[in-house]
Amino acid sequence: MKIAVASSDGINADLHFGKASHFSIYEFDEEKATFIEKRSVSIDEGQKHQWKKSLDVVEDCEIVICVQAGMNGKFGLEQKGIKLVEDEGTIEEVLDRYIKHYNFMKTPI
């Protein structure tokens, strides 16, 4: 599955979904996440409500990790069946936390 991380620099997960100018895309095989590519979003700093641009760039991903998302962005992601994870830190840290949580949730009680 593909994971998109909103990142300004390819190192930190530090952007709001609707204002993200870049997403780092990873392939997750249920054990590790491998970097695939960096995708750009044409964001106009002066405009509000640009979440649709971000959604178009990540629509083939199953998971989006970002600092936060507004109500419209959350709704749009939900409608596309994309899981939203709100987290921040380095990309390595947020992916590690997601993978640990994913594996914990898969473990039978």
- Our CA angle for 50, 17, 89, nearest 5°, is 155
Interval 58-107: pLDDT, tens = 999 999 999 999 999 999 999 999 999 999 999 999 999 999 999 999 88
Give the tens place of pLDDT for each residue, 90-104: 999 999 999 999 999
Give the SS3 label for residue 23: strand
At 91, give phi and psi (nearest 5°).
Answer: -60, -40
Q: How far apart are CA 2 and CA 58, in angstroms?
A: 9
pTM (2 decimals)? 0.93
Domains of the chain: 2-106 (3.30.420.130)
Q: Is 65 helix (H, G, I), strand (E, B) or coil?
A: strand
Please list the residues that pair with 25 across neighbouring strands: 4, 37
